[in-house]
Amino acid sequence: MNVVPTRNRVLLEVQEREEKTKGGIILPDTASKDKPHEGRVVAVGSGRVDNKGHVVPMQVKKGDKVIFSEWSGSEIEVDGKKYLIIKDEDLLAVE
């Protein structure tokens, strides 16, 4: 894959939600249609540029598992696989 995000953007492989809870309850289709909130970092941009023109490096790296805002980013498809490109400020946590 030759997709490299620009500046403060991150390319994520979205992790699909489980259709069954840990307790064994099977979720109906309507419950699992929400946009997933977890993903694995595939690539990162160089970082954002501050007011003085300095590049602020990204806080995430390739392979990190992240949690992100529900409706953030843009979905793209590369080689038949779906990815999400989001800004670093839409990342909520890194695991």
pLDDT digits (tens, 9 = 90+) for 46-89: 999 999 999 999 999 999 999 998 888 899 998 889 999 999 99
DSSP E strands in the chain: the ranges are: 9-15, 38-44, 48-49, 55-56, 65-68, 74-78, 81-87, 91-94
- Coil, helix or strand for 89? helix
pLDDT digits (tens, 9 = 90+) for 11-32: 999 887 666 667 777 766 565 5
Phi, psi of 88 (to 5 degrees): -60, -30
**Rounded Cα distance, 60 and 27, in Å:** 32
Q: How far separated are the first and last CA of the chain, in Å rounded?
A: 24
For the chain, the domains span 39-65
Q: What is the pLDDT of residue 14?
A: 87
